[in-house]
Structures are given as C-alpha cells and as structure tokens.
Amino acid sequence: SEWILDEGRSQGLSDETSFTAKIVTLGSYRLGVVQPGSDMDTLCIAPPHVAREAFFTAFLKKLENHPHVSDCVPIPGAYTPIIKLKLRGVSIDLLFARLVRPLEPGSDLEAVKDDEILKDMDDKSVRCINGYRVADQILSLVPNQEAFRETLRFVKCWARRRGIYSNVLGFFGGITWALLVARVCQLYPNYCFSQLVNRFFRIYDQWNWSKPVLLCEVVESVPGITGFKVWNPKTNHADKQHLMPVITPAFPAMNCTYNVTETTKRILLDEFRRGYEVVKKVEQAKATWQEVHEPFPFFNNGPFMHYLCLEVLAKSPEIHVKFCGWVESKLRILHKSLEGAVRGMQIHPNPEQYDLRNSDAEWPLGCGMFIELAFFQDQGALPGMMVDLRPTLHQFAEVVSQWSEKDVYNSNFKLKLMHCKRKQLPEYALKAQADKRTRRLCETERS
C-alpha cells in the first residue's frame, strides 16, 4: 500500500481513497489444494494510476530491499509477466493487473468477478486477472467443494508422478486438471471421492476429444465489451486445430490446453487408459491405490533406450531462472520437430528438471532436461539405420539464440545438447531418481 500511495503522490493525485490495491491468491492455493513445497501464485490488483512499468521498477526495488525477501527475479517479457521471489523461504509467483476503474474503498472484490471489470483493460492484465476469476468460477460451479478438492489432490499427485503435469511442455497444467475434475463432479454430484476418481479415469479414457470439456456454456460476447477473442472453433481456424480442448469458464473463454501436441496427446491418453485399468483392479481388490500413482519409470521405460539431454547452465540465480524459463518455453518447438524427423521414432518428454549437483565446475548453477527416444520397426524404423538429428537440433539452437536478454548476460549462460544411451545417463539424473525411490520407500514404511 505504501508503494501505491507513493505512485499516486508522485503523479500529484490527491484522492487517496481511490488508491485501493489488493493482493489475492490464484491457482492451487485459491482452490484449496496447495501442497507442501508448492509455489504460491498471487496477483496484485492495482488502481488505474499504477502502470505495469512501476510494478517492475519501483515495487521491485522495494521487494529487493525487504529483509525477508530473497531470490527476486522479474520476468516482464513473459506472456504473463511475473516477479518470482521467496518470502521467508516460501516461493511466490506474483502477477500484476491494472484496473481501468478503481475499486471502492473496503471492496470485497465482488466487482472483480463481474465481466464489466474487463472493459478497456489491457490484454496482459486480462490474462492475469482471469486467473483469479477462473478459480473463483470453478469453486462456484462444483456441487460439493470438499469432494472436488479431495479428488483434485489425488489427480494432481497422480499427474505429477506420471510425468504429465506441465502446461509449458504440452501436457496439462494445474488449471486444466482442476477443470477436468470439476466437470466430473458436476456429472456425479452425489459421488464420494473413490467413486469420483473412478469416473475421472473412465470419462477421460473414453472422451471424444473432438468435443471440448466445458463447465458451462461459452459466453460469446458481453454488451459493451469488445476486442476479446473468445474460443470458437466454428469461426476461428486455429481453435479448430486444438487437440484436447478444455475451456475456461470465465469470459473471455479460452482453451487452456492449446500447447498439446500429437506426442503429448498420445502420452496423456495412454495414462488415462492405464489409470482406469488400475482403478478397476483397486475396486476388485487386485491392486492398491498406491499403484494408481506409481511414478512413471523415466530412464527405465521399456523400448525408450536413447535420450536427448539438454543442460541449461548459468553463473547466477537470476540468469538461471530466466534462461531456463526461456529454454523450457521453446521445448515444444523441438518436440514438434522431432515428431516427424525420423521414420518410426517416438519421443517421450520428461517434465522434470534435474539439478546438476555441481557436476560442472565451471558453471555453479544448472539443470538437465531429458527427452526419451524409441524406434519401432512396425512404424518404419529399420535395424541399423542411420539417425541424424543434427539439423533438428541446430534449428532449435537457433530458436534459443533469439533470447532477448542474451546480450545483457553475455558469456554467463550456456545450453548443451547431447545424445546418450541408457547406460550413459549422467550421474546427477540417476542419483535424483534413486533419492526419490528412497523417499517413497520411507513414506510407505511410515504409512
């Protein structure tokens, strides 16, 4: 609030009653399903006199000078601009939305839920404030919030362990999993947790993905509000190309799975099928609930014997966060290029980022990302055939080299691209997998 007042006074504004700002939670925290160690998604809703530039300059400086704030990294150029920070050790993602009309003093945010709040608002602010509005509508559209939360916790745990929780890589993100669970809750309003989990896997194993998942009818337009693109495959060719559409309930309706590719769709469908098969065994007392979210066996996954390894290296935490985010945001381009690069080759992206554990003395910070590769004869692969992925990797390196901040951080970051076989996997990745297995065994013994 001090920063908001300072901004108003610097502009010669005298009506301090209009200087009302709010900090609200989004995502898992807002939905009531936050887990230990999770990031907290938050949003600063600022009055009209506060510009986004001030958020990333004056407010950022106040955060950096705060004794309890650390690892403060601004990313103003992101599709959804953000400040990443730690407050008393808690990781926080802070977004910013600038209102066109100020909130009334003492407002309880009811005005933010009204579509009228979006009138004349800039696109970035709309994307940010709709994170709050979507979460609020989900909670209002489910018949039993506690059953919804219990089911969503299970589904999110399952998705993370099975390696399909990542919007940026083309899998499903947190809001998508929430929408899928909410739809099941709507269809079976009187079901308990175990029944809802069964129906979740059954429904999405059998879902016709030419049809979208919707919690309510899409509102095409709101009187007096123009200029917003609403998801509509009948009038928009790009929307028609979406492979697994899941539509947000708040105006303007958007598809939150636009990143899904043919590869990630195949993997998601395989996981829905596997989940349903195991849940049926649980109900027949032939399996346990623990087996439903048994972690995906990356690095020991049947025919996937080859790996592309991408190592992101940096010399400071700020550079590492920014460059790693940039590389991750471009990985879908690499995935799409690989999908048709070699006859009979399938890929399986791994969403986890593995700490390099000081394995490179020259680079104090770094992480490894992996893409599994397999070759199938029944799909056209031939024994002993030559595979040259260099053109695809060179093309990806060119995309990465377009990073807007590369000149600012010159020589302080690096991307390594390598191929390795299963027996050549780096020690830091294998150690991370072994550590996770040990932790799970300890958890199982305690339970």
Active site residues: 28, 39, 41, 93, 156, 165
Q: Nearest 5 degrees, angle CA 369-CA 374-CA 378?
A: 160
Structural element, H or E, at residue 83: strand 82-87
Per-residue buried b or exposed e for 194-212, using 16+ beta carbons within 10 Å of the residue's own CB: eebbbbbbbbbbeeebeeb
Measure Cα distances from 206 to 39, 131, 270, 284 in Å. 33, 29, 11, 21
- Dist CA 60 CA 66 (whole Å): 10
- Left (φ > 0), alpha (ψ -120 to 50) or beta: where does 364 sit? alpha
Q: Are 39 and 93 in contact (CB under 8 A)?
A: yes
- Dist CA 5 CA 385 (whole Å): 68
Say which amino acid occupies 229. K
3-state secondary structure of 394: helix
- Dist CA 434 CA 429 (whole Å): 9
- 2-6: Cβ within 8 A, 24+ apart: 2/62, 3/54, 3/58, 3/59, 3/62, 4/46, 4/47, 4/50, 6/58
To the nearest 10 degrees (0 to 180), the angle between helices 145-161 and 193-206 is: 60
Q: Are 310 and 399 in contact (CB under 8 A)?
A: no
CA atoms within 13 A on the CB side of 12: 0
- Dist CA 43 CA 99 (whole Å): 12
Interacting residues of 175 by C-beta distance below 8 A, sequence separation 6+: 27, 131, 134, 135, 248, 256
Residue 291's CB: how many other CB atoms inside 10 A? 12
Beta-strand relationship, 365-375 and 306-314: antiparallel
Q: For residue 23, count CB atoms less than 10 angstroms from its CB and return exposed for 0-12, middle for 13-18, buried for 19 or more.
A: exposed
Beta-strand relationship, 82-87 and 40-46: unpaired
